[in-house]
Amino acid sequence: MMQRPPHEDFSLKETKPHLGGGKVTGDKLTSTYDLVEQMQYLYVRVVKAKDLPAKDLTGSCDPYVEVKLGNYRGTTRHFEKKSNPEWNQVFAFSKDRVQASFLEAIVKDKDLLKDDLIGRVVFDLNEIPKRVPPDSPLAPQWYRLDDGKGQKVKGELMLAVWFGTQADEAFSEAWHSDAATVSGADALANIRSKVYLSPKLWYLRVNVIEAQDLIPSDKGRYPEVYVKVIMGNQALRTRVSQSRSINPMWNEDLMFVVAEPFEEHLILSVEDRVAPNKDEVLGRCAVPLKYLDKRFDYRPVNSRWFNLEKHVIMEGGEKKEIKFASKIHMRICLEGGYHVLDESTHYSSDLRPTAKQLWKPNIGVLELGILNATGLMPMKAKEGGRGATDAYCVAKYGQKWIRTRTIIDSFTPRWNEQYTWEVFDPCTVVTVGVFDNCHLHGADKNNGVGKDSRIGKVRIRLSTLETDRVYTHSYPLLVLHPNGVKKMGEIHLAVRYTCSSLLNMMYMYSMPLLPKMHYLHPLTVSQLDNLRHQATQIVSTRLTRAEPPLRKEVVEYMLDVGSHMWSMRRSKANFFRIMGVMSGVIAVGKWFEQICIWKNPITTVLIHILFTILVIYPELILPTIFLYLFLIGIWYYRWRPRHPPHMDTRLSHADSAHPDELDEEFDTFPTSRPSDIIRMRYDRLRSIAGRIQTVVGDLATQGERFQSLLSWRDPRATALFVLFCLIAAVVLYVTPFQAVAFLIGLYVLRHPRLRNKHPSVPLNFFRRLPARTDCML
């Protein structure tokens, strides 16, 4: 189902869509809904009915309204035994698919055998008015029902009918004709566009200081006491106290992630390790989070003593509470000065601290238009084995997530939805993902087995965008599968980053990337990894509880959960990235080597002249360097990137990865592969680690040789170096520094006839210095 031609186009394509109805002035567009193409819809708002006639012996009816336009039919919910029902439902029919000249609103009476016609209202499409926001909503009107033969019947229906665009307020909650095959309230809720907000996350710091008056069951031994702290699904513990008494001390910090509203208590238990696999609880306490102190800097927080409760099980299974309470001394606070990392710092979309009091004013606005997708792959099979895709988009920036509506059964879906975010830092990334909706046809009824499939993802760094310019590009949707990289289609986006203050934006480049608490009291790398994992779990759990839910697999894909796992492909890519960075230094070294061997005599002579000038006038060295960098920057301005960066398969080594390396990357943790494959991969990893071990050992050897210059490990070598230092000090004292630099430069740039192929004397001396390799086992 996912086979592609061998040579695919993974490039970024610039497009010229007809945005905002063509209202373009230079690079800026002028209308409110201006980053998408206008889509015309016929809207029908069914408000209510009155005085409907009874159709059965009970003297009442079960009415509902069917809105019919050609082959499309939409129905309201029905009411039982109600002659004056109120629906207030909106139906939207795409104008591109209209194949009729009349619109019918038919009121029917629901029956077990056959629904009876109560009456209808017919509209000529040529007479329906147009509405464009910000015009006020069209007022609904009462219409008399007729029996379909031109005869008026009892009852009236209140309707509003108009032509509008996707900018209409009724668009998001309307029933859409392109989703006519979807039935059921839950399924309809799963296809609508929504805006979500991530929960407000805090770091919770628990400083466990000491405990007093603990009562162990065995008073004849020294207790081995530790404290276990549980916060929701997170559990951490202190080390075993070294004091070995009933008044143990720890003074240890434990960090957790919590989210508002604070629904759970912090549970602490003091436990005694009475045996290798047996722990005895000496006391417990529960601390409600809503009463804790919140701090925004590193000022000390007042500590408190908490009573530890202990229950003893008596005969008969009853619990008896011990009245004498042990105590525990702790300092607990919610940290508002940190930014809770739920994304990788390499492509984070928000870097503000938790506390709103510390936020700086926004510096601009990000506008994103999600236009359409083309060439999507079939993601699932429907009736008759036919491939289908029900695509929707999710975009995340900061705490705001958006989800477009689901386009049913289309490989070229058109969304044309526009969203806006406030920007507080230009060095942030907006992420757009495309997914296949697998919860429209009863997947939830199968114990939730169905998961929304990922179609692809796009990242756009705001700092790479020019301000006030509209970028319209078609981005390839690339997904790595066990059998290689696949292009799943293309997504068409329009992006504009508007800066409200150029001065404030430039000032942001001088500010620290993270809030100051990350530098004044930094967290360890292992703490950050653990806290980020907990933060992503909390965010995915909260968004899953929304309606419609933003499912866990979607949130984890957008937040790149699992990106820290071992991957041979990523390791190769990072190695070649380092080589790419070092290529400039290597190129300069090769160029200088050619200067030294006089490969081009004219260039070497010019370098001699430049070197002589800089020696005579050393105050020109730094100005020359910075002027040279300035000229290089101006020169490269002509070839500056005109398009946003996108995912590069060659840089990622996704197009040349070995199948076994990809299979290892997609393996579960812990592994689920057979033992022979694991043994082969382990041996391969050992060989790679052996080479890395050799390189690290060589670096250590060179460093130890530097240390041995003055350590007298080799007394003759150290004596020679000390004597050389004395002579050099005397010579440099009596000789002007410029003369010394000039002579050294002439020696380095000497003609090849004055060189030999043997290593230099300093290099020979350095290689003979001792290292500690002979002390290694």
- pLDDT of amino acid 376: 92
What is the identity of the amino acid at 19? L
- pLDDT tens string 326-374: 899 999 999 999 999 999 888 899 999 999 999 999 999 999 999 999 9
- pLDDT of amino acid 183: 66
Which residue, chain included where needed, has tokens 């002589």?
612
Which residue, chain included where needed, has tokens 């210095």?
769
pTM for this model (two decimals): 0.84
- pLDDT tens string 369-404: 999 999 999 988 877 778 889 999 999 999 999 999
CA distance 160 to 150: 21
**Torsion of Cα atoms, 18 then 22 then 24 then 28, to 10°:** -50
Burial class of residue 435 (count of CB atoms within 10 Å of its CB; 0-12, 13-18, 19+): buried
CA distance 168 to 578: 51
- pLDDT of amino acid 454: 92
Distance of CA 360 to the CA centre of its chain: 22
Sequence-separated (6 or more) residues with CB below 8 Å from residue 129:
138, 162, 163
Pairing of strands 152-165, 141-146: antiparallel
Measured from the Cβ of residue 536, the count of other Cβ atoms closer than 10 Å reads 22
Q: Could you give the count of Cα atoms lying within 13 Å of 424 in the half-sphere of its Cβ?
A: 17
- pLDDT of amino acid 134: 75
Please tell me the total number of residues recorded for the chain in this structure.
777
- pLDDT of amino acid 30: 41
Extract the tokens encoding 704: 């130890």
Cis peptide upstream of residue 134 (ω within 30 degrees of 0): yes
Edge-to-edge strand list for the sheet holding 86-94: 72-75, 63-69, 102-109, 116-124, 141-146, 152-165, 40-50, 86-94, 175-176
pLDDT < 70 regions, the chain: 1-8, 21-32, 55-59, 112, 183-187, 311-324, 441-449
Which residue, chain included where needed, has tokens 């009475």?
274
Beta bridge partners of 159: 46, 141
Extract the tokens encoding 309: 């409760």
How far is residue 468 from each of residues 366, 426, 471, 500, 502, measured CA to CA in Å?
A: 10, 13, 10, 10, 11
